[in-house]
Structure 1
Amino acid sequence: MNALPLSDTHPTDLPLVLAGPLLRRLEARRLVLWLVGRRALDARLQLAWDDPQRGVVEFDLPLDDARCQRLSVGRHAWLHLIDLHLDEPLPADTFIYYDLLIEDDGRRLAIADWAPHLLYPGQTQPSFVRRGRLDHLLHGSCRKPHHPGKDGLLQADALIDATRAQPTERPALLMLSGDQIYADDVAGPMLVAIHRLIERLGLYGEHLDGATISTSEALYAHPAGYYRREDLLPAYTANEELRERFFGGVEKPVFTSANAHNHLVTFAEVMAMYLLVWSPEPWRLIAPRLPELPEHLVARYRGEEALISAFAADLPQAARAMAQLPCLMIFDDHDITDDWNLSARWEQVAYGHPFSRRIVGNALLGYLLCQGWGNCPDAFANELPAIRELLAAPDYQQRLSAEAQDAIIDRLLTFNHWHYSLPGQPLLLVLDTRTRRWRSESTLSRPSGLMDWEALCELQHALLDEPAVVIVSPAPVFGVKLIEIIQRLFTWAGQPLLVDAENWMAHRGAAHVMLNIFRHSRTPANYVILSGDVHYSFAYEVHIRHRDSGPRIWQITSSGIKNEFPARLLDWFDRLNRWLYAPHSPLNWFTKRRRMQITPRIPSRSQRGERLWNGAGLGQVRLDEHGRPSEIHQLNADGSEPTRFEVTEREELHG
């Protein structure tokens, strides 16, 4: 395989918009959009809605530098970060139509011209609804392109299509709670597509330190570039541990994706991945071909190729949903790398090596630009100038400055404001459970708490005197006790990485503080916790024992959007958990949650009393006027009847 040449694509061969728009943060006086164009676009945003007193209200807003930041990530790829502060509030529970008019060769082109796949039949413009209350949410995590089965995001598209005449039936938002991409688990055909897109768009290269190759171009051309990237580490003793801990050299067949032989490395690879998982347009620009591979890998490649082709075919509907429904996001490990910050020892190994530090940093930079910024633009105001400077000054070979890139990565690795909130009724709080961890002081290899003392104190302060709250925690706060016990056993044996031993109860201090927050007299009466991560779905209702007036907590987990747990294994876990932690089991008194009364809601399609639902899809939650769930559904990716998590006879559990 030859090195990728610098792109000689003529800009007019490319679509005006490569990805987006994605509708991101939406408030009464604020509208945030994200898109990628082939150049810095001269555009205007139009808004229109029907007002009962004034008739049609229209706004035509030029996207000047105050409203739109434009960052070049390649010769023919420009990020557009659109942040509109509005003088007049957007109406609630009303269809608001929008259009992005782009100047091109003296013409003004609308979304219907440059992205007709974003429109439903009969639409001339996309629409959105700002809901007056946060009373209807979609949520999910773990969207792995090469997992067999349909994409759960298509269920959001189908729901919008079915309610196009009913603004109050539109969900208030789509909450993506982790693993929006799998940077550490990339199919061979997806990696080939990434490299073809890098070439076609001229995405910027970079210098690499600490590997056997020194530039991104050398990486793309290397014989180990597909399925054997761990071989690119220098062959000396210090890297043996890095191979195991970072690249997944240890087989992990139960609780996590297996080995990460195609781990994304460069910033260009990360950016190309985002374009390819969010938009159908890049797929029309490339023709991935089978690279030179050993014979034993060709069959694997061909099998993955069919899965990736099916994923790409569904992207128009997924993109349409994300253009017409506010989308908020938070990272989990696979957005960056498996076991990210699992323990202090993991951090020591990964951040102590220049190559792995760059890999983590590039994924984090991609997350900031493609996910984090749209959640809360204000949080990144101090970070963007340095990023803009880095991207504005590639050298004559179109590579980024290694010194400037490393300086930005150093800043991002210590950045502590990835979490955010969305005011409303109820309040939405989205937790960062990855970068502000409570590290073990006694044993560096023990799992870190998912949030440290300071972060938990900030959480409690944000909750004070709120009547109700929706908390987004990528990992469930109240998980399946048996699985957590198995993770603890592996931790005691010194192998937490083998089972992804990351749960709220794995760290005594973090668990104790979190449970105390729920018991605080001034924190909300009603909590809804939305989670993902685990590749199965469930719903628990939680009460504090012996306190009739205490808070009510609902743990609602939906995972994955395009991923599932091994079916037979989960069935055994489900049965054993019900048996070992039945209401009167003495094992309950050894759990950290023994003061909690936990009642599972039963999936409507349960055949033998299962508590866990194993099927890709998207979670749907409706809340009443007090912020309590009135309906909990899993919208199954296969299009079958939604699974309802139903209230049954009260069955008390502790674990």
Structure 2
Amino acid sequence: MTRQAPAPDLPLVLAGPLLRRLETRRLVLWLVASRPLEARLQLAWDDPQCGPVERELPLDASRCQRLPLGRQASLHLIDVALDEALPADSFIHYDLLVDDAGATRAIADWAPHLLYPGQRRPSFVRRGRLDHLLHGSCRKPHHPGRDGLLQADQLLQASLGQATERPALLMLSGDQIYADDVAGPMLAAIHQLIERLGLYGERLEGATVADSEALLAHPDGYYRREDLLPAYTANEELRERFFGGVKKPVFTSANAHNHLVTCAEVLAMYLLVWSPTPWRLIAPVMPALPARLAERYRREETTIRAFAADLPQVARALAQLPSLMIFDDHDITDDWNLSARWEQSAYEHPFSRRIVGNALIGYLLCQGWGNCPEAFAAELPALQALFAAPDPHQRLDAHAQDAIVQRLLRFEHWHYSLPGQPLLLVLDTRTRRWRSERYLSRPSGLMDWEALCELQHALLDEPAVVIVSPAPMFGVKLIEIIQRLFTWAGHPLLVDAENWMAHRGAAKVMLNIFRHSRTPANYVILSGDVHYSFAYDIHLRHRDRGPRIWQITSSGIKNEFPARLLDLFDRLNRWLYAPRSPLNWFTKRRTLQITPRIPSRSPRGERLWNGAGLGQVHLDAQGQPRTIRQLNADGSEPTRFESDERAAD
């Protein structure tokens, strides 16, 4: 790779390091710098028998893959295999030593915001058991209120001297970015950062704009991007066909006015949600807007500035706590793959296919790779070639980009596992759908038969498991019934009718997995997606020997459900589906006894907790939850989810 001369006013590192997958003999880090770095990884810990241990490993090509994302942006994918096991349940300190103009610079020099008071370098803990997890989803930058990831930072700071109090893992279960719902000031920041770093542009086939430069200059580029879908005839086709006469575009979010389009926009978004450093390089200016939109921009600007102000603490937590991630719809676009008809509409047109593909490229590089690097070994060479050879106008090769998009749309290894006690299984509920062959507009099952068979095989003879399903396997019955009614009426997209029970075949196979005699005795299911939080204890009726299942949902990290509407749903659900209600017999879950846990701060016995924050779960030696809490983003007392046998249905 040609060595890129750094711009004199750019920092060495733009985002990261993020601590990603952590195993006994493996350490995975993600980082974006303003040029390819010559660096060394330094590890240090105290061995009770041998005393202090220090290791220094050069980050050569075998340990670090570098991809140029632009003229002044280089992605570093660091995957270090270790000859000796990292100690369990004790602090391990690390540093990235960077050679810069003849001097060696440490993290304390180039990213002091990543250190807690008293630290000289970041630290992490490899827990011997998966007994303490943080989890959450749905982090929308322009949602009013604080960022729930600040609770992870506060927890780490409180446990600086207590290794066993550290969580084993932060699990982000979907919607880490909102590619389809972007605030005007965030989009302005994205465009400034693209220019500042020279992120590569691209040609846009089938669009009303020819390329990324024309998109940025178009008068409809802010708050009216839905009008930039393909040319009028194709646009009407995309809007109207297959949706029962309802005019609804492929990009179905009601807030898609600033939907991300280009690969550069997606990559810039990731830098701006993971790190405070890019914000110091730009000064976004409001574009020319009508008065109504200008007023909206100014309202959003206050929220976006507050979001950016909290990023130093967020970045600090992500540098010192292992994190794993999985996509959900908003990481790509709303209603992504909801039905076979949606897929047909989206992927038949080159422009909508490119938009989805660009979001997948961004997910792979900024989230997916860090979960399981070996799964993407065959995909990275093509991406490296794409970014390494832009044309003289600094645009990506369109044919090579389209070939990568086609390959990613067929890719089937986004799911992954983490060995340990208990086993962690993270499900892809977006790309391996159980599609309806007779009624293409019906919602697809969240996993197809083959994927569910693979899930069952992975569970065999495990004593306990933590399953991460972005959408809850067991949700609120009333909401699921409403979604089913809209589906029967031919409008599943209007209510995001995607839940495990929406597809008869997928629901039946999933319930049979729980009944299998060789699958685990204890299941903990972590979910997000719905913008509220709840916990259920679940038992199979007439099966005294188990299994035991806990559905634990935490959503969102920085998002909430409309309060009055959720309160209405909660009340109606309790009345209509009370334990003795005959309506329970008309659901697909009648073979299960589901006991909602009551939030400790619920004044009227509500089952659903509506507040941004981060979920926290402690597991005992058998993999059963000891405590289930929501760490509230507003800093108030954590909400505990407590058992109440009287609430069983």
TM-score normalized by the length of structure 1: 0.96
Match of 2:345 in 1: 349
Deviates further, 238-247 or 286-295: 238-247
Unaligned runs of 5+ in 2: none
Q: Does 1:184 align with 2:180?
A: yes
* Percent of matched pairs sharing the same residue: 83
| Aligned-pair CA distance for 1:11 | 1.2
Q: Who is 1:223 aligned against? A: 219
- Distance apart, 1:612 and its partner CA: 0.2
The one-letter amino acid paired with 2:477 is K
State the shift of 1:647 in Å. Answer: 1.4
1:630 maps to 2:626? yes
Separation in structure 2 between the aligned mates of residue 429 and residue 148 of structure 1, nearest angstrom = 32
Contact in 1 for aligned 2:599/2:606 (Cα 8 Å): yes
The residue matched to 1:224 in structure 2 has which SS?
A: coil
Q: CA deviation digits over 1:562-605, x for unaligned, max 9?
A: 00000000000000000000011110001110000000110000
What is the alpha-carbon distance in structure 2 between the residues aligned to residue 550 and residue 195 of structure 1? 54
Residue 442 of structure 1: how far off its partner (Å): 1.1
Distance 1:469 1:598 in 2: 19
Listed one character per residue, the Cα deviations across residues 269-299 of structure 1 (whole Å, up to 9, x for unaligned) are 0000000000000000000001011122100
Once residues 286 and 40 of structure 1 are traced to their aligned partners in structure 2, the CA distance between those partners, rounded to angstroms, is 22
1:88 to 64, 70, 84: 84
The offset of 1:241, in angstroms, is 4.7
Match of 2:99 in 1: 103
2:434 maps to: 438
Q: Once the 2 structures are TM-superposed, how far is the Cα of residue 246 of structure 1 from its aligned partner?
A: 12
Which position in structure 2 is the counterpart of 1:286? 282
1:336-384 superposed Cα distances (whole Å, 9 cap, x missing partner): 0000000000000000111000000000000000000000000000000
1:373 aligns with one of 352, 369, 372 = 369
Contact 1:393 1:400 in 2 (8 A): yes
Alpha carbons of 1:106 and 1:251: their partners in 2 closer, same or farther (altered >3 Å)? farther
Matched with 1:62 is: 58
Deviation per CA, 1:526-568, whole angstroms, max 9, x where unpaired? Answer: 0000000000000000000011102000000000000000000
1:362 matches 2:363: no
Which residue, out of 419, 423, 426, partners 2:419?
423
Q: Tell me if 1:327 matches 2:323.
A: yes
Equivalent residues of 1:24, 1:31 under 8 A apart = yes
Kept after mapping to 1: 8 A contact 2:595/2:645: no
Query: Could you tell me how far apart the structure 2 residues matched to 1:439 and 1:191 are?
Result: 34
**Structure 1 SS opposite 2:647:** coil
Show the 5 A alignment for 1:404-415: 404-415=400-411
RMSD: 1.6
Kindly state the Cα deviation for residue 237 of structure 1 after the two structures are TM-superposed.
3.3
Question: Counterparts of 2:626 and 2:598 in 1: how far apart (Å)?
Answer: 15
Structure 2 counterpart of 1:5: none
Q: Which residue of 1 aligns with 2:474?
A: 478
Task: Render the CA deviation track for 1:309-361: whole Å, top value 9, x for unaligned.
Answer: 00000000000000000000000000000000000000000001110000000
Q: Counterpart in 2 of 1:4?
A: none
Q: What's the secondary structure of 2:387's corresponding residue?
A: helix
Mean CA deviation greater in 421-430 or 229-238: 229-238
Q: Matches of 1:547 and 1:279 in 2, distance apart?
A: 49
Q: Do the aligned partners of 2:595 and 2:644 also contact (CA within 8 Å) in 1?
A: no
1:84 & 1:627 partners in 2: Cα distance?
29
* Equivalent position of 2:270 in the other structure: 274
CA contact (8 A) 2:239 2:247 kept: no
Residue identity matched to 2:479: I
CA contact (8 A) 1:9 1:201 kept: no
Aligned-pair distance for 1:648? Answer: 2.4
State the alpha-carbon separation in 1 of the partners of residues 515 and 121 from structure 2. 48
**2:21 aligned partner:** 25
For residues 182-581 of structure 1, the aligned pairs below 5 Å read 182-243=178-239, 258-581=254-577
Q: 1:47 aligns with which of 15, 34, 43?
A: 43
CA–CA distance in structure 1, aligned partners of residues 205 and 30 of structure 2 = 32
2 CA distance for matches of 1:62 and 1:116? 22
Counterpart Cα distance in 2 of 1:605 and 1:245: 47
Task: For 2:132, give the aligned amino acid.
Answer: H
Give the letter for the 1:354 counterpart.
P
1:159-197 Cα distance to aligned partner (Å, 9 max, x none): 000010100000000000000000000000000000000
Could you tell me whether the CA contact under 8 Å between 2:434 and 2:448 is conserved in 1? Answer: yes
Counterpart AA for 1:643? T
Letter in 1 for 2:95: D
The verdict on how the C-alpha distance between 1:279 and 1:251 changes in structure 2, with shifts beyond 3 A counting, is farther
Give the distance between the partners of 1:184 and 1:244, measured in 2 at CA.
Answer: 20
Deviations 1:220-272 (A, max 9, x none): 1110100111212344333225347999x9899xxx96330100000000000
Match of 2:635 among 630, 635, 639: 639
When residues 630 and 358 of structure 1 are mapped into structure 2, their CA distance, relative to the original with a 3 A threshold, is same
* Alpha carbons 1:245, 1:497 under 8 Å: kept: no
Contact 1:621 1:633 in 2 (8 A): yes
Write the distance in 1 (CA, Å) between the matches of 2:234 and 2:336: 19
CA-CA distance at 1:212 after TM superposition = 1.0
Q: How far apart are 1:649 and its partner, in Å? A: 3.5
Whole-Å separation in 2 of the counterparts to 1:590 and 1:643? 32
Gaps of 5+ in 1: 1-7
Q: Distance in 1 between matches of 2:192 and 2:613?
A: 30
Change (3 A) 1:561 1:246: farther
In structure 2, what is the equivalent of residue 71 of structure 1? 67
SS of the equivalent of 1:284 reads helix
Please tell me the residue identity of whatever aligns with 2:574: R
Give the letter aligned to residue 168 of structure 1. T
Q: Say which SS state the counterpart of residue 225 (structure 1) adopts.
A: coil
Partner residue in 2 for 1:172:
168
- Of 152, 159, 172, the match for 2:155: 159
CA distance in 1, matches of 2:161, 2:277: 28
Distance 1:365 1:184 in 2: 15
Moved over 2 A (4+): 233-238, 240-247, 249-252, 256-259, 648-651
2:400 aligned partner, one-letter code: A
What amino acid does structure 2 have at the position aligned with 1:55?
G
Alignment partners' CA distance in 1, 2:241 and 2:316: 38
1:375–1:420 contact (8 Å) kept in structure 2: yes
Instruction: Give the deviation of 1:10 after TM superposition.
Output: 6.1
For 2:284 and 2:551, how far apart are their aligned partners in 1? 42
Distance 1:648 1:349 in 2: 46
**Matched residues in 2 for 1:117 and 1:245: separation?**
51
Q: TM-score, normalised by structure 2?
A: 0.97
Contact 1:246 1:338 in 2 (8 A): no
Q: 1:94 and 1:610, CA in 2 relative to 1: closer, same or farther beyond 3 A?
A: same
Q: Secondary structure of 2:78's partner?
A: strand
The one-letter amino acid paired with 2:256 is: A
In structure 2, what is the Cα distance between the partners aligned to 1:37 and 1:614? 38
Match of 2:603 among 607, 611, 614: 607
